Chain A
Amino acid sequence: MFANTLFLLSAVLTLAGAVLVVYSQNLMHACIYLLASLFGVAGLYACIGADFLAATQLVVYAGGVIILMLFAIMLTGGTGNRTNKYGLEKIPAMGNKKTFMIAAFAAIVSALIVIKVTIPVFQNNKNLIVAANAPTVERIGTLLATDHILAFEISSVMLLGALIGAAVISRPRKEIHD
Chain B
Amino acid sequence: MKYKLVHKTKYEYAQAVNNYHSLLCLMPRTLPNQSCRNFNIQITPQPSQIVERTDFYGNKTHYFSLHAPHKELTVLTTALVERNVEDMGALFMPSEISCAAARQRQLGDRSLKIALLEYILPSPMVKWGQDITAFASDCFQEDMPLYDCVINLCRKIYTEFDFVPDFTTVHTPIEEVLAAKKGVCQDFSHLAIACIRSFGFAARYVSGYLETLPPRGRPKLQGSDASHAWISVFIPDYGWCDFDPTNNVVPGERHIVTAWGRDYSDVPPLKGIIFSYGKHTLTVEVDVIPV
Chains A and B come from one and the same complex: no
